[in-house]
Chain A
Amino acid sequence: MTRISLTVDGASVSDDVEPRLLLVQYLRERLGKTGTVIGCDTSNCGACTVHLDGTSVKSCNVLAVQADGAEVTTIEGLARTVGGDDGLHPVQEAFRECHGLQCGFCTPGMIMQSVDLLKNNPKPTEEEIRLGLEGNLCRCTGYHNIVKAVQHASGQAEVTA
């Protein structure tokens, strides 16, 4: 067991963890942060994407001990990074507005990755959006409305049905 201390969605937490424990397992099983989900075993799907010190990571690909001392933001704490706890981050709002989700399982990871994408490239082209989301799989939307949601969040797209 190794002692780790970190900040998750603004809260300071500290636990003894097995060295092999994945960050996503720590978030889900120890902290009850079940908004972040596991979709595959091979870091292909990106459903578990969170921000580690401001950069998107697949939390199934990070050991909990690697997050020692770090600041982690999950989908559950995303809105508080831009304001109040009960509001929505503009990217969350854009996904709702553009119908960028159906079953919603890939959505937390897709939103966290989109936030990171827009941080690095505030006005991406459609191709840049598609390449930037290549590491996140969605089976419901065909990506069409996800791309539109990111365009909308970047102020580049009108919303139409």
Chain B
Amino acid sequence: MTATQERPSDAIEKEIGRDRRRKEDQRLITGRTRWTDNIVLPGMLHLAMVRSPFAHATITSIETADAKASTNVVDVLTGADFGAELGAIINAWPITPDQVTPAHSPMPADRVAFAGEIVAVVIARTAAEARDAAELVEVEYDELPAALDLKRSAADEVLAHPDLGTNKSALWVFDSAEAGTGGNVDEAIAKARTDGIVIEREYRQQRLIPAFMEPRSVVVDPTGEQYTMWSATQIPHIVRFALAATTGVPESKIRVIAPDVGGGFGGKLQVTPEEWIAWAVGRRLGKPVKYTETRSESLMSAHHGRDQWQKLTLAAEKDGTVTGLKVELLADLGAYVAIVGGGVPVLGAFMFNSIYKFPAYHFAVQTVLTNKAWTDAYRGAGRPEATYAIERLMSELAAELGVDPLEVREKNWIKHEEFPFTTVAGLEYDSGNYEAATAKAKEMFGYDELRAEQMARRASGDTVQLGIGISTFTEMCGLAPSRVLGQLDYGAGGWEHAEVRMLATGTVEVITGASAHGQGHETAFSQIVADRLGVPFESVEVLHGDTQVSHKGLDTYGSRSLVVGGEALVKAADKVVEKAKPIAAHLLEASVDDIEFSQGRFSVRGTDQGLAITDIAGAVFAAHNLPDGVEPSIDSEATYDPVNFNYPHGTHLCAMEVDTETGAVKMRKYVCVDDIGNIVNPLIVSGQVHGGLVQGIAQALWEEAVYDDSGTLVSGSFVDYLLPTAADTISFDIGHTTTPSLTNTLGTKGVGEAGTIASTPAVVNAVVDAVRHLGVDDIQMPCTPERVWKAINGPGSGGSTEGAAMPHFESGGAAGNQEQPGTASTDGAGS
């Protein structure tokens, strides 16, 4: 120990704010990875699933003899073979007390409710033999009518689960007059009808597929005292809880590990039939088992996202001052109520009013059961839908008024001096500066120049028109204050847990309950701890994703890891310092009151005497010379429950070129200025923004999960489900303004979902803006050339392209390409 060594303070650079390269990358770029599918255990058996080809059918018989007789097949098991031993798939968020929730067995014995549902599992010595034998399982079905179209299902024309008597699962309502947060929206609309402006629209949020790159995989090892499950999941802690709650195995006997996880985007925020079946098979056979899905299985049976019809009414004064907003949603749950399920549209309920000062607001969502894959969180979860609706409406209001869409936004948004601001939805926005973000974005974009070019192209009748789209979004993130979740009837809290362990040799182990799957927690959390404890970045090791190491946590989703998990970490680190202080005083022979802590060093005020915190860790390990009554540990933990959400915001500007002869669209420029508070690592932030943007842009332009009229997913491979490639996308201009959040110590806001939430309406607004002078005021997503062309050349919003996604051989010749909107197998745009 060198108690008097000088440390020049100006030599220490703050870690927070540095563009540190990621600690995670070394292993990922060299292939030294631990994906679940890489795990091989002695005697491990492989599973293959037999899945229903029908959307809705009764199972009349399952013949397994041939499969069982196949080489190296160990067993074939059905739902009937298991019964209650399988456990159940839970919904954690019944959004109303009377929510209609179908029982969800991981492998039903009697009836299937969507195409892709598992009816039998084959267990064999190799994956190939299991899959071969799965082909030999003969299942007889009696097909039942399937509830497919959302609107018709909401009318109970065909029942997804006949014994429930209805497809209507829950009606969740928020009304500002009833809540006391604002006025009566119907009165506002009535007034606007006689003496103002009413904008009424119906928008479609198409069904999307999260399409993480790593297919889901699960390994179960039932040998040893604890059963271990490795799973490609975002939520190892929640999986452990649900396994204990539904399969009768004590929670203390269950270890769940999320090793390297290849993306999630909400798609791995689920408890899955595949996990539960692997668990049951492993326990029954007493052997390790592995199941890894194919891409087609993933697209068919992992949960989907979005899928809403949005009926919207905006009321305004003649001068463009908004006076009311009424939102009526139909949300497709799919065949079962997933873990968050109807909670996804409810998360959007507080965001439709966005940054605008609506005096009256009404929100209602009717969740609906259908015979399609279940839906749940997909990046943004409820907030992209809300942002899309309001940002499209504000541009429609501007068009009605004949003013620039930024002007009508500025007229109605919360001014920076008005924070904190309690919204009509009852949230308190702590901070923000919409003026600053917008000014910076306009400058980066060259807004005035592009508007001038747009006018010139219109004047010259250019066949390629230019459109400018705007999205001045906000979101609520950092899920979530537990008290709020309780008020919303969510089945768990929203806290996060962290531990800091000071090791004897000077390194620091940090344990977080936020389970990363690509975000870069190991790097960003190291930066936070390095600053807080004054230890080198390299000395910090971040551990996560294993319930035996990180015994407590609520995992990663909802842009919560930094703002909730990071805050827990700050509190744990501060406790380490507090615990070390009396020990430092003792070793420095000074009064505790005279001890100061700065940049990793305890010093005696007014002297050059001091000790590094790592020296204290060494002294505590030896424990030879500690003050009386002080425990030999400075390790600390903290569980943090946020007091409020935080509210990132930003201004996104998009320029799209639209070929009016072909309907082809091309992105010309995309600028975004996001205010996400203080930034821990700008490099990681840039990656989150870029990736988020492309997922939102992809909803606007390319992606759609399409079912045919028998309930088969026809976009069930990467040939058919259009993920954008490098060649489809452009480089982005991103910037930031900074208004620190007041709801956490670090002043940070979430960033994981911002790009996705903001970009979709910016793109669609730009496409519509390019052709508005041709009489177009809506184009249904995704804005394919076909839809754009139809919108230009006919009534409506381009209708459905579902027909185009299906095989053409039945429609016969050229006529197949000439379908009118709404004539495809399921209903198209309502307008």
Min CB gap B209→A, angstroms:
11
Q: Is B575 an interface residue (CB 8 A)?
A: no
Closest to A45 in B: B718
How far apart sit A124 and B61, CA to CA, in the bound complex (Å)?
A: 59
How far apart sit A33 and B33, CA to CA, in the bound complex (Å)?
A: 10
Establish whether residues B29 and A142, one from each chain, have CB atoms under 8 Å apart when the complex forms. Answer: no
Establish whether residues A37 and B35, one from each chain, have CB atoms under 8 Å apart when the complex forms. Answer: yes
| Residue among B263, B682, B726 making CB contact with A140, cutoff 8 Å | B263
| Residue among A95, A101, A142 making CB contact with B693, cutoff 8 Å | A142
Q: Is B727 an interface residue (CB 8 A)?
A: yes
Establish whether residues A140 and B686, one from each chain, have CB atoms under 8 Å apart when the complex forms. Answer: no
- Assuming the contacts A129-B726, A139-B213, A161-B19, asked whether A103 and B262 have C-beta atoms less than 8 A apart, the reply is yes
Q: Is A141 an interface residue (CB 8 A)?
A: yes
Q: Which of A76, A103, A145 is most buried by chain B, counting CB atoms within 10 A of its CB?
A: A103
Chain A residues within an 8 Å CB radius of B212: 103, 105, 139
Q: Is B260 an interface residue (CB 8 A)?
A: yes
| Residue among B128, B518, B731 making CB contact with A103, cutoff 8 Å | B518
Q: Is B261 an interface residue (CB 8 A)?
A: yes
Closest to B297 in A: A41
Q: Is A72 an interface residue (CB 8 A)?
A: no
Main secondary structure of the interface of B (DSSP, over half): loop
Chain B 667-688 interface 0/1 with A at a Cβ cutoff of 8 Å (1 = within): 0000000000000001111110
Establish whether residues B725 and A137, one from each chain, have CB atoms under 8 Å apart when the complex forms. Answer: yes
| Residue among B29, B32, B214 making CB contact with A111, cutoff 8 Å | B29
Chain A residues within an 8 Å CB radius of B719: 42, 44
Establish whether residues B687 and A92, one from each chain, have CB atoms under 8 Å apart when the complex forms. Answer: no
Q: Is A34 an interface residue (CB 8 A)?
A: yes
- Assuming the contacts A103-B262, A104-B260, A161-B686, asked whether A142 and B691 have C-beta atoms less than 8 A apart, the reply is yes
Establish whether residues B518 and A140, one from each chain, have CB atoms under 8 Å apart when the complex forms. Answer: yes
Establish whether residues A143 and B718, one from each chain, have CB atoms under 8 Å apart when the complex forms. Answer: no
Chain A 71-106 interface 0/1 with B at a Cβ cutoff of 8 Å (1 = within): 000111001000000001000100111010111111
Min CB gap A149→B, angstroms:
10
Residues of chain B in range 194-224 having any CB-CB distance to chain A below 8 Å: 211-215
| Residue among B38, B261, B687, B725 making CB contact with A34, cutoff 8 Å | B38
Q: Is B404 an interface residue (CB 8 A)?
A: no
Chain A residues within an 8 Å CB radius of B26: 96
| Residue among A33, A41, A107 making CB contact with B296, cutoff 8 Å | A41
Chain B residues within an 8 Å CB radius of A137: 213, 718, 723, 725
Chain B 252-293 interface 0/1 with A at a Cβ cutoff of 8 Å (1 = within): 000000001111010000000000000000000000000000
How far apart sit A135 and B718, CA to CA, in the bound complex (Å)?
A: 11
How far apart sit A141 and B690, CA to CA, in the bound complex (Å)?
A: 6
Establish whether residues A107 and B29, one from each chain, have CB atoms under 8 Å apart when the complex forms. Answer: yes
Interface magnitude class on chain B? 35 or more
Min CB gap B440→A, angstroms:
17
Q: Is A147 an interface residue (CB 8 A)?
A: yes
How far apart sit A116 and B791, CA to CA, in the bound complex (Å)?
A: 43
Min CB gap B303→A, angstroms:
16
Q: Is A67 an interface residue (CB 8 A)?
A: no
Establish whether residues B38 and A143, one from each chain, have CB atoms under 8 Å apart when the complex forms. Answer: no
Q: Is B21 an interface residue (CB 8 A)?
A: yes
Q: Is A53 an interface residue (CB 8 A)?
A: no
Closest to A44 in B: B718
Q: Is B631 an interface residue (CB 8 A)?
A: no
- Assuming the contacts A35-B33, A99-B684, A129-B726, asked whether A139 and B691 have C-beta atoms less than 8 A apart, the reply is yes
How far apart sit A97 and B295, CA to CA, in the bound complex (Å)?
A: 31
Q: Which of B35, B692, B732 is most buried by chain A, counting CB atoms within 10 A of its CB?
A: B35
A contacts with B, residue count (CB < 8 A): 57
Q: Is B22 an interface residue (CB 8 A)?
A: yes
Residues of chain A in range 115-133 having any CB-CB distance to chain B below 8 Å: 126, 129-131, 133
Chain A residues within an 8 Å CB radius of B692: 142
How far apart sit A22 and B341, CA to CA, in the bound complex (Å)?
A: 39
Residues of chain B in range 3-55 having any CB-CB distance to chain A below 8 Å: 19, 21-22, 24-26, 28-33, 35, 37-38, 40
Chain B residues within an 8 Å CB radius of A25: 128
| Residue among B25, B33, B295, B731 making CB contact with A42, cutoff 8 Å | B295
Establish whether residues B686 and A99, one from each chain, have CB atoms under 8 Å apart when the complex forms. Answer: yes
Establish whether residues B686 and A92, one from each chain, have CB atoms under 8 Å apart when the complex forms. Answer: no
Closest to B731 in A: A144
Closest to B215 in A: A39
How far apart sit A75 and B35, CA to CA, in the bound complex (Å)?
A: 15
Establish whether residues B213 and A103, one from each chain, have CB atoms under 8 Å apart when the complex forms. Answer: yes
Establish whether residues B262 and A105, one from each chain, have CB atoms under 8 Å apart when the complex forms. Answer: yes
Q: Is B519 an interface residue (CB 8 A)?
A: yes
Q: Is B520 an interface residue (CB 8 A)?
A: yes
How far apart sit A161 and B24, CA to CA, in the bound complex (Å)?
A: 17
| Residue among B22, B215, B695, B726 making CB contact with A99, cutoff 8 Å | B22
Q: Is A40 an interface residue (CB 8 A)?
A: yes
Establish whether residues B694 and A104, one from each chain, have CB atoms under 8 Å apart when the complex forms. Answer: no
Q: Is A136 an interface residue (CB 8 A)?
A: yes
Min CB gap B37→A, angstroms:
8
Q: Is A59 an interface residue (CB 8 A)?
A: no
Establish whether residues A40 and B717, one from each chain, have CB atoms under 8 Å apart when the complex forms. Answer: yes
Chain B residues within an 8 Å CB radius of A143: 690, 694, 724-726, 729
Establish whether residues A103 and B686, one from each chain, have CB atoms under 8 Å apart when the complex forms. Answer: no
How far apart sit A67 and B577, CA to CA, in the bound complex (Å)?
A: 59
Chain A residues within an 8 Å CB radius of B29: 75, 88, 92, 95-96, 101, 104, 107-108, 111
| Residue among A39, A129, A130 making CB contact with B214, cutoff 8 Å | A39
Chain B residues within an 8 Å CB radius of A8: none
| Residue among A32, A44, A135 making CB contact with B717, cutoff 8 Å | A44
Q: Is B161 an interface residue (CB 8 A)?
A: no
Establish whether residues A142 and B694, one from each chain, have CB atoms under 8 Å apart when the complex forms. Answer: yes
Chain B residues within an 8 Å CB radius of A76: 30-32
Q: Could you pull out 12 A-B pairs where Cβ atoms are within 8 angstroms?
A: A28-B38, A39-B213, A39-B215, A41-B295, A103-B518, A105-B212, A133-B727, A142-B692, A143-B690, A144-B686, A146-B726, A161-B682
Query: What residues make up the interface of B, taking CB atoms closer than 8 Å to A?
Result: 19, 21-22, 24-26, 28-33, 35, 37-38, 40, 128, 211-215, 260-263, 265, 294-296, 517-520, 682-687, 690-695, 717-719, 723-727, 729, 731-732, 755
Question: 10 closest Cβ contacts across the A-B interface?
Answer: A35-B31, A103-B518, A104-B28, A105-B262, A142-B694, A44-B718, A142-B690, A161-B19, A34-B38, A75-B31
